[in-house]
C-alpha cells in the first residue's frame, strides 16, 4: 500500500502559513515570474466573489475591493515542502518528493494491518501538518498513482481497497491526458477511467500511442512503480520578505515568534531540539545583519528561544529599515544532565545565558565574564573570557598559588600623583585620595618588560604607609607618578 | 522505617561531605540554614557563616574587607560553588587570585553604584548563582547616598526567593534590611604585608550583629 499526502493550493498555503487567519479572507496569489501576471491560486472566499484563476489583479480587485494579493515565493514553497517531507519521514522511512505539495509514502513494514490503524495513522499525519498551518489530504491505495488520485478527492482521508472499483468511476480528465487524446476519447464516448481501461493495454498502445499507454500504466492497479526515495532535508529555516519596511521591533518580534514556534515544532516532530539559532535581517540598503545564538542547553522551548532573540533584538540598531527576516535552527539531540553530588552547575543554563546577555547589554561585553590571567609580569594583566562554568569544575583544588597577604583594591586607571623623595624613599605624596606624609615605605621594586617591542614598560614600585594609617601601592613610570591601589 | 533511613543517610553525608548541597531540604532554613563550613575550620573569619536566603552587609573602610572578599571567593571555590562578583568601582585585583578560583567567578565590572545595583538585580532574579558578592566599598559617598532604602528590601525579597546568599560590602552601615551585619575593624601596618595569609585572616577583627534578632550575637572575633 502507498499513501500520497497532498497539499491543495500548496503555493498559496505556503504564502499564508505564517498568517493563518488570512485563509478565512479573500486572498489571491500571483506569480510574478510569469510573462502575463495573473492569479494562479486563491482562497475559497475569494472564489465566492467570482474571482477565478487567470484573472489579472485589476480584474480581481474589481470583483472584491478588499482582496489581498500575495506574491508567490519560492523560499516559502521550499519551507512548506521541507515541512511536508520532514513530517512524512517521521511516519514512514520510505518517502518520495513527488511534486510540489505532494509526498508519497510506502506503508510496507509499518505494521498497519487494518483500515482502522491506517485511518488513525493518516489522521496523525494530517494533525501534525495542521500544526504548521498546512491543510492537507491523504489518499491510500495499492499503487502510488492511485493514492494520488484518491488524495485529490473530497475527503481528507481516502482509503482505496478495491482499485478497479475506485478508478472505474473517475473521469478520464482526472488523469490530465494531452488534449488530443482527450478529444479522441471523448469522440469515442469514453468518459470514465473504467471505460478507458476496458479498451485493453495492447489496443490503447496500437491506436493511441505511447502517451496513452503511459496513462494506462498509471491507473492500472497491477503496475506499481518504485518510489524515488529521498531523505528529508536537514535544513530548518523560515524566511519572510516584508511588504512594508519595518522600523520598529514590534512587528519584527511578532513574526519572529511565529518563526520560533514553527521551527521548534518541526524539530519536535522528529524528536530534536534547537542547539543554535541563526538570525538574519535584510536591510533596505542591501546590507545583511547576521547573528548566531548558541543555546547553552539545547531546547525546544519556544519561550526560551524567543526570549534569547528578543533580548538581543532590544539592543539592535540598524542604519536602514528591515525588509526581510530569516531564521534558521541547527538541530541537536536533547541533552540529559545528571547533577552530581559534588558539582554545582547552573540549574538553568538558558536563563543564565539570557541574564548574561542582559548584563552585556547593560555594561558592555568587556565588563562581563570570567577573568583569566595573562602570563605576563606586567601588573594587572588579565582578560575577560566567556563564562563556561560547566567545564570549570575543580577536581583537585590547589587554591593558593600565590602567597599574597592583604588584598589590593585597584584604581583603574591608576590615580595620578606627585611624590616627594628623600634619598630613594618617598616621604610625601600628593594625590586625589591622600595628601600628606609617608610614615614608612618598602621598595623600590623594579620591574620592566616588553623591551623587545613597542609596548616597552618599566616602573619603580613602593608599598607605603601614610601618616593617616592607609596602606597604598604607588609607582613611578615614564608617564609620571601614580597610586595603583589601596590595601584593604 | 525508610524515612528514618533517609534522614540517617543525609546526616551521614553531611558529616562526611560538609560541602555537599542537599537540595531536598535546602528550602528549610531552620534545618540547613548555613552555607557549609569546613569541619576543621579555625575560629575567626573561617567560622564566618553565610546564611542561605539572607542579605548580609560587611562594613569596613580599609580594614580588611577586600581580604575578606577574597577569602569568600576561595571558600566558595573549595565548595565548587559559582560566585557572581559585582564590582561597583572596578577595583577587584584578579592577579592575586588563583586561576582555579577565578574559573568559578562571574566578574561584573561596573563604574557606578547605579549600574552595580542594576546588575545585582539581574543576577539575583536569575537564581542560578548561590553566592552573590556586591562590592560598593570604593564607590563615592555621593553615589551611595542616592541608593533608596527600598532597593535593599527588594534585594532581600529576591534573595529569600532564590535561597542564595547576597553579601554587600559597604564603607558604612547603610543596609537597614540586612539580616546579618559584619563590621570589620582591623588595622594593618606595613609589616602585615609580609604576613602569611592565614595569619592575617586571624588578625581580622569583626563585629557580627544579627539584625533579625536585634541583638549582638558575637563579640569582636580575633584568632
DSSP string, A112-134: --SHHHHHHHHHHHHHHHHHTT-
Probe site for chain B from A373, A390, A401, A406 (most B CB atoms < 10 A)? A406
Facing residue for A407 by CB, picked from B69, B101, B103: B69
CB neighbourhood size of A113 (10 A):
8
Predicted pLDDT at B214: 40
- How far CA A476 is from CA of A144, A416, A448, B144, in Å, comes to 87, 10, 12, 32
CA distance A399 to chain B (A): 6
- How far CA A83 is from CA of A147, A233, A238, A258, A466, in Å, comes to 20, 9, 11, 15, 74
Predicted pLDDT at B134: 93
B103 with A392: Cβ contact below 8 A: yes
Q: Closest residue of A to B185, CA-based?
A: A488
- The more confident residue out of B136 and B30 is B136
Contacts of A351 (CB under 8 A, 6+ apart): A304, B126, B127, B128
Q: Does A445 touch chain B (CB under 8 A)?
A: no
Predicted pLDDT at A137: 92
Predicted pLDDT at B32: 39
Output the pTM of the full model.
Answer: 0.63
CA torsion angle A432 A437 A440 A441 (round to 10): 50
In this prediction, residues B149-163 reach a mean pLDDT of 87
Probe site for chain A from B128, B137, B194, B196 (most A CB atoms < 10 A)? B128
Q: What is the ipTM of this complex?
A: 0.76
Probe site for chain B from A338, A341, A343, A344 (most B CB atoms < 10 A)? A344
Q: Does A164 touch chain B (CB under 8 A)?
A: no
Cα–Cα nearest to A466, from A424, A422, A423, A433: A433
- How far CA A431 is from CA of A417, A472, B89, B140, in Å, comes to 5, 11, 18, 16
Which residues in chain B have Cβ-Cβ distances shorter than 8 Å to A372?
A: 99, 102
Angle ∠(A475,A478,A483) on CA atoms, nearest 5 = 25
**Selected residues 341-380 of chain A with any CB under 8 Å from a CB in chain B:** 341-344, 346-349, 351-352, 355-356, 358-359, 362-363, 366-373, 379-380
B197 with A363: Cβ contact below 8 A: no
Predicted pLDDT at B30: 40
- What does the alpha-carbon distance between residue A27 and residue A67 come to, in Å, rounded to a whole number? 6
Q: Is the pLDDT of residue B56 over 60?
A: yes
Helices A210-219 & A144-151, crossing angle to 10 degrees?
Answer: 80
Predicted pLDDT at B16: 66
Contact criterion met (CB below 8 Å) for B88 and B113: yes
Facing residue for B77 by CB, picked from A368, A370, A397: A397
| Distant-in-sequence contacts of A471-477, Cβ < 8 A, 24+ apart | A471/A406, A471/B62, A471/B188, A471/B189, A471/B190, A471/B192, A471/B193, A472/A429, A472/A433, A472/A434, A473/A408, A474/A417, A474/A419, A474/A426, A474/A429, A475/A379, A475/A414, A476/A419
- What does the alpha-carbon distance between residue A441 and residue A464 come to, in Å, rounded to a whole number? 4
A344 with B105: Cβ contact below 8 A: no
- What does the alpha-carbon distance between residue A258 and residue B196 come to, in Å, rounded to a whole number? 61
Helices (H), A346-480: 349-363
B80 with A470: Cβ contact below 8 A: no
- What does the alpha-carbon distance between residue A363 and residue B87 come to, in Å, rounded to a whole number? 12
- What does the alpha-carbon distance between residue A379 and residue A475 come to, in Å, rounded to a whole number? 11
- The more confident residue out of A371 and B80 is A371
Give just the sign of the alpha carbon dihedral A299, A300, A303, A309: positive
Q: Where are the extended beta strands (E) located within chain B?
A: 54-59, 83-87, 105-109, 131-135, 165-170, 180-184, 206-210, 215-216
- What does the alpha-carbon distance between residue B59 and residue B47 come to, in Å, rounded to a whole number? 18
What is the layout of strands, in order, in the sheet containing B206-210?
Answer: A382-385, A368-373, B105-109, B83-87, B131-135, B165-170, B54-59, B180-184, B206-210, B215-216
Which residues in chain B have Cβ-Cβ distances shorter than 8 Å to A380?
A: 93-95
Predicted pLDDT at A246: 85
Q: Does A403 touch chain B (CB under 8 A)?
A: yes
Q: Is the pLDDT of residue B110 over 90?
A: yes
**Per-residue b or e along B175-187, where b marks 16 or more CB atoms closer than 10 Å to that residue's CB:** bebbbbbbbbebe
Pairs across A and B, CB distance < 8 A: 187
Q: Is the pLDDT of residue B85 over 90?
A: yes
A405 with B122: Cβ contact below 8 A: no
- How far CA B180 is from CA of A222, A355, B28, B201, in Å, comes to 87, 27, 18, 20
pLDDT under 50: residue ranges of chain A: 399, 401
Predicted pLDDT at B47: 55
Cell triple for residue A372? 583569566
- What does the alpha-carbon distance between residue B33 and residue B160 come to, in Å, rounded to a whole number? 12
Q: Is the pLDDT of residue B216 over 50?
A: no
Residues in chain B: 223
Predicted pLDDT at B1: 44
A412 with B193: Cβ contact below 8 A: no
Facing residue for B95 by CB, picked from A368, A373, A487: A373
Residue in this structure with the C-alpha cell 539584625, named with its chain if needed: B211
Q: SS3 for B90?
A: coil
Amino acid at each position: 500500500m502507498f499513501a500520497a499526502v497532498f497539499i491543495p493550493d500548496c503555493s498559496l498555503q505556503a504564502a499564508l502559513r505564517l498568517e493563518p487567519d488570512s485563509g478565512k479572507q479573500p486572498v489571491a496569489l500571483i506569480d510574478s515570474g510569469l510573462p502575463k501576471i495573473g492569479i494562479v491560486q486563491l482562497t475559497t472566499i475569494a472564489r465566492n466573489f467570482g474571482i477565478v484563476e487567470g484573472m489579472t489583479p485589476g480584474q480581481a480587485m474589481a470583483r472584491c475591493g478588499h482582496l489581498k494579493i500575495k506574491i508567490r515565493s519560492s523560499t516559502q514553497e521550499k519551507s512548506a515542502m521541507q515541512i511536508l517531507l520532514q513530517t512524512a519521514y517521521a511516519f514512514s522511512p520510505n518517502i518520495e518528493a513527488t511534486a510540489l505539495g505532494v509526498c508519497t509514502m510506502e506503508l510496507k513494514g509499518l505494521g498497519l494491518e487494518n483500515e482502522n490503524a491506517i485511518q488513525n495513522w493518516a489522521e496523525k499525519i494530517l494533525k501534525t501538518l495542521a500544526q504548521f498551518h498546512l491543510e492537507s489530504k491523504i489518499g491510500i491505495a495499492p499503487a502510488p498513482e492511485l493514492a494520488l488520485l484518491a488524495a485529490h478527492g473530497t475527503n481528507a482521508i481516502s482509503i482505496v481497497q478495491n482499485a478497479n472499483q475506485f478508478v472505474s468511476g473517475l473521469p478520464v480528465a482526472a488523469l490530465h491526458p494531452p488534449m488530443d487524446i482527450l478529444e479522441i476519447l471523448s469522440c469515442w464516448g469514453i468518459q470514465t477511467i473504467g471505460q478507458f481501461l476496458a479498451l485493453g493495454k495492447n489496443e490503447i498502445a496500437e491506436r493511441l500511442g505511447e502517451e496513452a499507454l503511459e496513462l494506462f500504466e498509471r491507473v492500472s492497479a497491477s503496475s506499481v512503480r518504485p518510489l524515488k526515495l529521498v531523505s528529508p532535508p536537514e535544513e530548518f529555516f523560515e524566511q519572510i520578505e516584508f511588504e512594508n519596511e519595518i522600523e520598529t521591533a514590534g512587528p519584527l518580534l511578532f513574526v519572529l515568534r511565529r518563526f520560533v514556534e514553527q521551527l521548534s515544532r518541526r524539530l519536535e516532530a522528529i524528536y530534536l531540539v534547537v542547539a543554535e539559532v541563526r538570525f538574519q535581517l535584510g536591510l533596505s540598503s542591501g546590507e545583511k545583519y547576521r547573528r548566531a545564538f548558541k543555546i547553552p542547553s539545547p531546547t525546544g522551548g519556544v519561550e526560551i528561544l524567543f526570549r534569547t532573540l528578543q533580548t538581543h533584538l532590544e539592543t539592535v540598531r540598524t542604519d536602514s529599515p528591515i525588509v526581510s527576516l530569516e531564521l534558521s535552527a541547527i538541530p541537536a539531540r536533547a541533552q540529559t544532565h545528571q547533577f552530581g553530588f559534588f558539582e554545582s552547575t547552573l540549574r538553568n543554563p538558558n536563563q543564565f545565558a539570557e541574564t548574561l546577555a542582559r548584563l552585556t547589554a547593560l555594561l558592555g561585553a568587556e565588563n562581563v565574564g570570567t577573568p583569566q590571567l595573562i602570563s605576563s609580569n606586567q601588573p594587572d594583566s588579565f582578560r575577560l573570557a566567556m563564562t563556561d562554568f560547566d567545564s570549570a569544575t575543580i577536581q583537585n583544588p590547589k587554591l593558593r598559588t600565590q602567597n599574597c597577604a592583604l588584598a589590593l583594591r585597584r584604581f583603574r586607571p591608576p590615580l595620578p600623583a606627585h611624590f616627594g623623595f628623600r634619598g630613594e624613599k618617598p616621604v610625601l605624596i600628593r594625590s586625589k585620595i591622600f595628601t600628606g606624609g609617608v610614615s614608612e615605605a618598602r621598595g623600590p621594586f623594579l620591574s620592566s618588560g616588553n623591551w623587545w617591542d613597542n609596548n616597552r614598560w618599566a616602573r619603580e614600585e613602593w608599598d607605603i604607609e601614610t601618616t593617616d594609617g592607609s596602606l597604598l601601592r604607588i609607582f613611578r613610570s615614564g608617564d609620571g607618578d601614580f597610586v595603583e591601589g589601596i590595601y584593604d | 522505617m525508610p524515612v528514618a533511613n533517609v534522614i540517617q543517610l543525609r546526616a551521614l553525608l553531611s558529616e562526611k561531605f560538609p560541602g555537599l548541597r542537599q537540595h531536598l531540604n535546602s528550602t528549610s532554613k531552620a534545618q540547613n540554614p548555613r552555607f557549609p563550613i569546613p569541619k576543621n575550620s579555625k575560629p575567626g573569619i573561617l567560622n564566618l557563616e553565610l546564611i542561605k536566603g539572607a542579605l548580609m552587609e560587611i562594613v569596613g573602610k580599609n580594614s580588611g574587607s577586600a581580604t575578606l572578599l577574597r577569602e569568600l571567593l576561595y571558600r566558595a571555590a573549595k565548595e565548587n560553588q559559582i560566585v557572581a562578583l559585582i564590582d561597583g568601582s572596578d577595583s577587584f585585583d584578579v592577579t592575586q587570585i588563583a586561576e582555579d578560583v577565578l574559573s568559578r567567578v562571574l566578574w561584573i565590572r561596573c563604574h557606578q553604584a547605579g549600574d552595580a545595583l542594576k546588575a545585582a538585580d539581574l543576577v539575583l532574579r536569575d537564581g542560578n548563582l548561590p553566592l552573590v558578592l556586591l562590592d560598593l566599598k570604593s564607590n563615592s559617598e555621593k553615589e551611595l547616598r542616592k541608593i533608596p532604602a527600598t532597593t535593599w528590601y527588594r534585594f532581600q525579597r529576591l534573595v529569600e526567593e532564590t535561597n542564595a546568599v547576597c553579601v554587600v560590602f559597604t564603607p558604612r552601615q547603610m543596609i537597614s534590611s540586612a539580616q546579618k551585619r559584619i563590621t570589620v575593624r582591623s588595622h594593618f601596618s606595613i609589616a602585615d604585608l609580609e604576613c602569611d595569609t592565614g595569619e592575617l585572616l586571624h588578625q581580622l577583627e569583626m563585629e557580627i550583629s544579627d539584625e533579625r534578632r536585634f541583638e549582638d550575637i558575637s563579640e569582636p572575633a580575633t584568632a
